[in-house]
Amino acid sequence: MKIALAQLNYRIGDIEVNTAKILAEIEKAKEQNVDIVIFSELAVCGYPPKDLLDYPSFIERCETALQLICEATENVAVLVGGPAWSKLTKGKKLYNSAYFYADQKLVRRIDKTLLPTYDIFDEYRYFQPNEVFECVEYKGEKIAITICEDLWNLDDEKLYKVTPMDELIAQKPSVMINLSGSPYSYNHVEKRRTRMQLNAKTYGLPLFYVNQVGGNTDILFDGGSMFINRMGEIVEECEFYKEDFKVIKWDSDHIYEDNHQDYYDYDIGLIHDALVMGVRDYFGKVGFSKAVLGSSGGIDSAVVHAIAAEALGADNVKAITMPSRYSSTGSVVDAHKLAKNLGSPFSTIPIKEVFDSFNRTLAPEFEGTQPNVTEENLQARSRGIILMAYSNKFGNMVLNTSNKSESAVGYSTLYGDMCGGLSVIGDLYKEQVYELARFINRYGEVIPYEIINKEPSAELRPDQKDSDSLPPYPVLDKILFHYIEEKKGWKEIVAMDEEGLTEDIVRKIVRMVDRNEYKRFQASPTLRISHKAFGTGRRMPIVARYNH
């Protein structure tokens, strides 16, 4: 039997375009005499569709698309994901389903059993869990079909009372197929592989696994669709971050050899590629083609500029440096050099007159007070106004350049450097930003080495350094990782007895994270590359009092 893995990049809600892509792959499968072509979870409507699922007209359009796909299955079988009405008198209105079509008929609809409601997932909000377990018989083979989370309820990490494959294995299937919508995070690639390999070994069955690729707002999908033999070895694997179509000639009596790509659990190259894809898809799917950013001569804006230039083309990324009286000459020079290295358009717009005008306007109200962080923030907000004005005039989307370390502790200004339509590195800690800069320079200088080597500074007051307000970034990032990703309280972090993690520093940082939740609530969408990004995956109350 020839089985094809069709790994595609879908646009959420663009049902007609998604369907056209699916139909094109079906024709490709026919040309190669494929028996079954497999698409990913909710492929027809794109994943995750969120509250679009609440609109009956949306489901009706999906049904129309599925009928077109069914009609295209002459001489080929198709397994594709889409929503389905549950028709229950009690319970949710929809199922998250996999449709098995052959000979222009629906052979079987398989509904998803395990509906995740953690991190970025909220599927039980929309879907009814499946309670019927039946294999599909096709061309003499009995196939166990599952959808994404259905294969994750194994070993000591069981979150659900039911394990679908435990129910299906009693019917003696010869192969497993899983339609997936598994997003990328830097600790998830190997975990996903390992979990799928464990399924193959546990049940002694080969596994065909199909994931999607592409960026859907903040969530990035890396692909990595694969065929695993019954020994748990990855025989074939689709490209990461690219659409792919791979045909496997499968014989139930044959054992295939391991032939998968060599990536590590944490790979800065994968992070880089994820961000480039995320920027490209965000712009392309929203309908923008050009970006603008504030280029300060610092590491964060430099990395964002380089990623955007690769994603959109350097000509489509406008860099504006906006020096104040406190900006060093070196910062302006470095920002200009970066734009020249990349080939991007560049402008210098000093903010001295804008800042002075704000001070004059506010002088009657501020009389008798001393300059403080207010005046520092006025500089950041002056820059934000200029960037947004450029965006309004020329249609370039503003890219936010804040990193996760800054966002976590509130080292950023609302309506100033927090402005933007997309946060590119908002899920990277400062040390990761430096690592990414070195990766970008792997073949030679793109980001000027002066930028990488200089001490970080917001340059909002004389001789200012980030270290004036924050512990060194290696210490800060360690505290933040323990608190945010690992969800450890300050006492647990201090008890780890790691260098620099004193009680005073840890408690100070934890307090800063907690009290700046209101800022992050107003931030632009952040490309997610970790398993605990700010945004939909970390939901904390703004009005609360708690002490971890």
Catalytically annotated residues: 41, 112, 148
Kindly tell me the burial class for residue 423, based on how many C-beta atoms sit within 10 Å of its own C-beta (0-12, 13-18, 19 or more): buried
Residue 386 makes CB contacts below 8 A (sequence gap 6+) with 320, 322, 349, 351, 354
Which two tokens mark 527?
A: 């490309």
**Strand spans (E) along 207-322:** 207-210, 213-216, 219-222, 226-228, 234-237, 244-249, 291-294, 317-321
| Contact indicator for 78, 179 with CB cutoff of 8 Å | no
Nearest to 78 by CA among 27, 117, 32, 115: 27
Give the Cα separation of 247 and 239 in Å (integer). 13
Amino acid letter at 410? G
Parallel, antiparallel, or unpaired: how do β-strands 397-400 and 422-423 relate?
Answer: parallel
List 83's β-bridge partners, or say none.
96
Nearest to 102 by CA among 37, 163, 50: 37
Q: Which residue has tokens 């502790």?
A: 409
* DSSP, res 485: I
Nearest to 459 by CA among 293, 322, 288, 291: 322
Give the Cα separation of 47 and 44 in Å (integer). 9
